[in-house]
Amino acid sequence: MSIWVLRGLRDGVVTTRWPGRPDEYADSWRGPVVVRDGAAPGAAPGAGDLCPTGAIEISAGRVSVDQGKCILCGRCVTARPDVFGWSAGATGPGAAAVLREALVVPEVPQTRQAVEAARAALADRTAALRRSVHVRHVDAGSDGSEEWEIQALLGPVYDVHRLGVFFTASPRHADVLLVTGAGTPGMAGPLRTTYDGMPDPKVVIAVGTDAASGGLLGDTLTGVPATVPVDIWVPGSPPPPFGILKALLVATGKLVR
């Protein structure tokens, strides 16, 4: 016991102050790939072949990356650092999207308008979710990496309980459905049953590339939107705890962006 007391006195408070205060660790986190400013289609011939999940597209005079398919392998950044780079920050605007189309970067003006409309609609629907919020997590065929990040939310560094967010084993008590995994056929039934068992209003968060698009299994599995409607998309393979935390705060109206 004395060892833990001394350790506590030595380390002090380790819990992040985010979102109340900025967090340098969150700001330094490496996120999904982005297209560098000024990159043109002619400057990246064959770039689409660099991505194992088909996240890179060159068409209509622009290079784009679908962060919902990016598995952070870094092949494109290594081969063409003049065209592709890493995004920075785990709590920025791209950490949690309210539209699947918003995960495609660079963003087009029409997407920005649609995002604002979707965000307003979500805020109206979840206006009652402001204080104590309960989350049900379902693994729909995950490789386990996202689960480690979710588990970190319960530790002293992130301490999701300080924000009034609690995990529950019963969908009857849940306000938010946190889904990981590529959406395997065997989990389609249990996932839908969990969703149907939740009271309204409810929010579905797809956590990670596998849940958003199937990831490396995208040729046969398309993620969880084929089974349940998704309200918030969190890119990354896996996404950091800060990204998941931001999605939960957006879902419950504690953050607007």
Q: What is the pLDDT along the chain (257 residues), one digit of tens a residue?
A: 567 667 666 767 789 998 888 888 888 888 899 999 876 655 667 788 899 999 999 887 788 999 999 999 999 999 999 899 999 888 887 788 999 999 999 987 777 888 888 888 888 888 877 678 999 999 999 999 999 999 999 999 999 999 999 999 999 999 999 999 999 999 999 999 999 999 999 999 999 999 999 999 988 989 999 999 999 999 999 999 999 999 999 888 777 65
What one-character DSSP code corresponds to residue 97?
Answer: B
CA 84 – CA 44 distance, rounded (Å): 10
CA 93 – CA 12 distance, rounded (Å): 31
Residue 58 β-bridge partners = 63
What is this structure's pTM?
0.92
CA 3 – CA 27 distance, rounded (Å): 32
- The single-letter code of the amino acid at 197 is G
What one-character DSSP code corresponds to residue 162?
Answer: G
pLDDT of residue 115: 83
Neighbours of 1 (CB within 10 A): 5
- The single-letter code of the amino acid at 70 is C
Give the CA count within 13 Å in the CB-facing half-sphere of 11.
11
CA 97 – CA 107 distance, rounded (Å): 12
Question: Residue 56: which H helix or E strand, with range?
Answer: strand 56-59
pLDDT of residue 5: 66
Kindly list the structural domains of the chain, giving each domain's residue range(s) and its CATH number in brackets, ordered by start.
Answer: 30-88 (3.30.70), 113-251 (3.40.50.12280)
Residues 221, 214 contacting (CB under 8 angstroms): yes
- The single-letter code of the amino acid at 177 is L
pLDDT of residue 253: 79
pLDDT of residue 51: 93
